[in-house]
A and B are shown apart, each in its own frame.
Chain A
Amino acid sequence: MFDERTREAARAARARYDAEVAAEGREQERPFVTTSGQPVRRVYDPTDLAGLDYERDIGLPGHYPFTRGIHRTGYRARTWTIRMFAGFGSAEETNGRYRYLIDHGDDGLSVAFDMPTLMGYDHDEPEAAGEFGRCGVAVDSLADMEILFDRIPLGAISTSMTINSPAAVIWAMFIAAAEKQGVERGVLRGTLQNDILKEYIAQNEYIYPPAESMRLVVDTIEFASREMPLWNSISISGYHIREAGSTAAQELAFTLADGLEYVRWCLERGLDIDEFAPRLSFFFNCHNDFFEEVAKFRAARRIWAREMRERFGAKSPRSWLMRFHTQTAGVSLTSQQPEVNLIRTTLQALAGVLGGTQSLHTNSWDEALALPSEKAVRLALRTQQVIEHESGVVNTVDPLGGSYFVESLTNEMERRCLEYFEEIERRGGVLPAIEAGFFQSEIADASERYQREIERRERVIVGVNDFAIDEPLEIPILQMDPQGEARHLERLRRVRATRDPDRARRALRDLEGATRDGENVMPYLIEAAHAYCTVGEICNLWRRVFGEQPISLSI
């Protein structure tokens, strides 16, 4: 990036400087490393960017390879979408929370489902015992969806849904709910998480074996590419990989490897890359180490653009763009002195913004203890508004671009990601690596290393292993409606009793046929949703057809 004369001068200056520092002997004798354990040098200068080519590797925002962002104008045209992830208890309660968030400036909905919904059980099945509405909203049928989005115009707001094994089922219910509002599916905007690979790798909400699950994912991607041009059919997620304890480089590498795997499966189905690639989206974590996170986002865009264009030959520039959502790191929150979490989240959110995220969720400070209270959520929302309106960081695109340190760290992230790609390939690809437990053990090792650093106080976590105080906690905890579960179960009973039994039976029978015949299941699922078939009925049908993936016992 620099001419030979500049590099030579920089090398000489750096050598003198290093000698001066050594002579002073004032630096602390400890390793200087990122949160992920990546060593950081004392200072960065042109000598650290020797192999970097400005045009090839950095360029301008909105220009290939998009290191500096996917839009030419960054946040000057449009700031990121404030998208707060929310859901608890019954559909009525969560609908109330959504309308509260929208009233306070939230731009997009993001639905959290409870465990029975995520695992494809109806709430009156024994597996659902004790789990109703605990970590998300309970949805069994279209009747719940209609209440969840009551008085929310689905044609005007974008909706993200965090659902994976039953993603196709929930998406069908969402489409049916919109259609009942009079909104055609073709205009719906939103995102389905639908990323089953990271479930096997980290988040553990898998039901069916990998190949059968992948077929359902490809069905949804195919359906979106034909009928829902504004919908993000998948949100390929590093968030959960990081929450399970991975490093930043692992999060980046495993997520992108998953992304490439989905691309291969879609190509195998016979889809044209430029037909579906523009609707693939991503979801990353933003952890404590400010510059490491910014570098991760910048590297992610560059790697994805190159893979799509150079490896897969995508011709549409829209296929090259990595669009992503960011959530601050839940795993970084502490139950000790929980108010401090607000500060952690602020720094993480800022890194996400400087990394060029398209949308952002900020965690609430009380979430190491319980679901967030209304006031805590409002503060988390305000955090984004302060960054947007008061900090000035939105005025210019990629303000950290060209920083010797950030560019060097971006290169390093890319290098380690490509190393992992090779390693995964040596292991036969993503699915064999999952079956062999490769990702899982890499993550568990990293997670143990990080924990050990904290316990040895090689890494200080404020309020945990330093600056601790003994103070009684007084936190208003969110109280759920005690009648919520009974009301929900009554609705489920009523749905089963009052729906057209012939239509429901026929819908399930046709769905089973389509599943066995390898037809795209989406049209059958939408009919089943309109017929008020339940999540449990459909997922249990697939349990019979596909079988279930066994649980891993390795630590």
Chain B
Amino acid sequence: MANQRPIRVLIAKPGLDGHDRGAKVVARALRDAGMEVIYTGIRQTPGMIAEAALQEDVQVVGLSILSGAHLELFPRVIEELKSRGVDDVLLFCGGIIPHEDIGTIETLGFKGVFGPGTTTTDIIEFVRAHAPVRA
């Protein structure tokens, strides 16, 4: 099994909050780990994120949100992805997320929820372990 393609990842910031330190640190770490990383920049609507995931043909979508709007915005991102037929991507998220919300977020289809203090090594390993394989 030669020439395995690098994993393609979209790092996106839904909503209006501009806190992008975490998103940038994760994007850089995944890129340095050999993945192809597309960063959307801040203030993306769910539709814009789903469209980027489709156009960029990514296997992984990571969402970062620190404003507390995750329970409103994450489901909308999922809907937008589904409406475009993007249903085979690995989803993870990070930010200021109360523990009691993690169950709900996992039910939406997120495989990983990473709070402050997570190491990028953990996220790299998580993505490598769970990213769907592309032919």
Q: Which residues of A contact B (CB under 8 A)?
A: 115-116, 118-119, 121, 127-131, 134-135, 199, 203-205, 243-245, 331, 333-336, 367-371, 444, 447-448, 451, 454-455, 461, 463-465, 473, 475, 477, 551-553, 555
Contact = CB atoms under 8 A, between A and B. Distances in A.
A372 to B, nearest CB: 11
Contacts of A454: 119
Rank and list the top 6 A-B pairs by shortest CB-CB distance, nearest first.
Answer: A204-B18, A130-B72, A134-B68, A115-B16, A335-B115, A130-B69
Contacts, number: 109
Contacts of A128: 16
Interface string B30-46: 01000001011111010
A116 B68 CA distance: 13
B120 A130 contact: no
A204 B18 CA distance: 5
Interface string B5-32: 0000000000111111101110111010
A463 B117 CA distance: 9
A551 B67 contact: no
Interface residues of B, number: 40
Given A134-B69, A447-B25, 10 more contacts: A119-B43, A128-B16, A131-B67, A135-B66, A244-B20, A335-B116, A444-B28, A473-B99, A475-B98, A551-B42
Contacts of A333: 116
B102 to A, nearest CB: 10
Nearest to A332: B116
B18 A555 contact: no
A482 to B, nearest CB: 13
A131 B67 CA distance: 7
A518 to B, nearest CB: 29
B72 A555 contact: no
Contacts of A336: 117
B16 A131 contact: yes
Nearest to A465: B119
18 contacts: A115-B16, A119-B16, A119-B43, A131-B69, A134-B69, A204-B42, A243-B21, A244-B20, A334-B116, A368-B115, A368-B116, A368-B117, A369-B99, A451-B25, A461-B117, A475-B99, A477-B100, A555-B27
Nearest to A245: B21
Contact of B68 (A135, A244, A334, A463): A135
Contacts of A205: 18
A115 B42 CA distance: 13
The A interface, classified by DSSP as helix, strand, loop or mixed, is loop
The B interface, classified by DSSP as helix, strand, loop or mixed, is loop
B116 A371 contact: no
A370 B67 CA distance: 9
A555 B30 CA distance: 12
Nearest to A119: B16
A115 B21 contact: no
A108 to B, nearest CB: 25
A203 B66 CA distance: 12
A335 B117 contact: yes
- Name the residue in B28, B41, B76, B116 with the highest tally of chain A Cβ atoms < 10 Å from its Cβ: B116
B73 interface: yes
A243 B66 CA distance: 13
Interface string B93-135: 0001111100000000000000111011100000000000000
Contact of B24 (A121, A131, A444, A477): A444
Interface string B62-87: 00001111011100100000000000
Contacts of A370: 68, 96, 98
A116 B69 CA distance: 12
Contacts of B69: 115, 130-131, 134
Contacts of A116: 16
A463 B19 CA distance: 24
B41 A115 contact: no
Given A203-B18, A204-B18, A369 B98 contact: yes
B41 A369 contact: no
A111 B19 CA distance: 19
A213 to B, nearest CB: 15
A1 B25 CA distance: 44
Contact of B17 (A135, A245, A455, A555): A135
- Name the residue in B28, B37, B121 with the highest tally of chain A Cβ atoms < 10 Å from its Cβ: B28
A524 B120 CA distance: 50
A81 to B, nearest CB: 26
Contacts of A461: 117
A555 B43 contact: no
A137 B69 CA distance: 14
Contacts of B42: 204, 551
B25 A448 contact: yes
Nearest to B23: A555
A296 B73 CA distance: 39
Contact of B39 (A203, A243, A553): A553
B121 A455 contact: yes
Contacts of A118: 16
A333 B116 CA distance: 8
A333 B96 CA distance: 11
Nearest to B37: A555
Given A553-B41, A555-B28, A334 B99 contact: no
Nearest to B44: A551
A118 B29 CA distance: 30
Contacts of B31: 555
